[in-house]
Amino acid sequence: MARSLTLLLVRHGQSEWNARGLMQGQTDGIPLTALGHAQAAAGAAELAALGPGALVSSDLLRARQTAEHCARATGLPVAVTPALREQGYGVLEGRPSRELWDVVDWTDPHWAAEGGESLARLHARVAAYLARLLAEPPADVVGLVTHGDTIRAVQAVAAGLGPADLPAVTPHNGSVTRLELSR
């Protein structure tokens, strides 16, 4: 009999670069704003009410700071992994997001900026992580503290969709998205 694994995907709170409209990608060391900490605390309270049995976070600072709120709210320790990092944007990181509309080929899932990661590679990284998680889940309900594009990739993998079909809508900062996976 197949059992399900519930994933509770928490998007990190607003970071300083979110507030400034800068592309973050995998740039580390960008802390949460005061609003970001409030969003993280609200997301952590929502997460705690859903009863996760394990908590895993991206290793990037903005996610780890959000995960600290989640750990306090749930009483769970946080495991950290680079597998939950945001999509890497290479040389585009730190540039204003609005400038990217003329630079990025949003229609090609194999396109990547120099030193960056394509949607296809992000999708493959997330799919490999989810396969490992399904094979050896730390709990029946797992909180994953991560990033907007990574959440969209998790949603696509869970729905059996490829990298060209990631959902268009990115969850809001501090939000919790629930997914059920069969194992």
Question: Are 82 and 58 spatial neighbours (Cβ–Cβ below 8 Å)?
Answer: yes
- The residue with tokens 């797992």 is 142
Number of residues written out for the chain: 183
Radius of gyration of the chain (CA): 16
CA separation, residue 22 to residues 18, 32, 40, 158, 166 (Å): 6, 14, 20, 29, 22
Catalytic residue positions, numbered: 12, 86
Question: Are 124 and 130 spatial neighbours (Cβ–Cβ below 8 Å)?
Answer: no
Q: How far apart are CA 73 and CA 14, in angstroms?
A: 19
- Number of CB atoms found within 10 A of residue 151's CB: 25
